[in-house]
């Protein structure tokens, strides 16, 4: 079953601001197999209302398999 649904940029931004999105990532900087720096990134994007709702809930990040 092919359910291609077109979403406009305005719809996407509305959903992100309404629900909130957490972006998480790791950056390793290494030279010749020696790790020189590690950066752990966590970014929360959303409206103030959405962030206030998420504030009291623990954030559960899923690692890609």
* Helices and strands in the chain, H and E counts: 2, 2
pTM comes to 0.44
Nearest CA-CA partner of 50 in 25, 22, 24:
22
Long-range pairs, 56-61, Cβ under 8 A, ≥24: 59/22, 61/22, 61/24
Name the band, by pLDDT with cuts 50, 70 and 90, for residue 65.
low
Query: What's the CA angle centered on 39, arms 33 and 43, to 5 degrees?
Result: 145
For 10-63, the pLDDT digits (tens) are: 888 888 778 777 788 998 899 998 889 988 888 877 777 777 776 776 656 565
1 against 4, higher pLDDT: 4
């Amino acid at each position: 079953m092919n359910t291609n649904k077109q979403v406009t940029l305005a719809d996407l931004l509305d959903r992100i601001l309404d629900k909130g999105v957490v972006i998480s990532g790791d950056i390793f900087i290494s030279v010749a197999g020696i790790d020189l720096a590690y950066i752990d990134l966590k970014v929360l994007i959303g409206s103030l209302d959405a962030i206030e709702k998420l504030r009291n809930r623990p954030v559960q990040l899923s690692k890609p398999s």
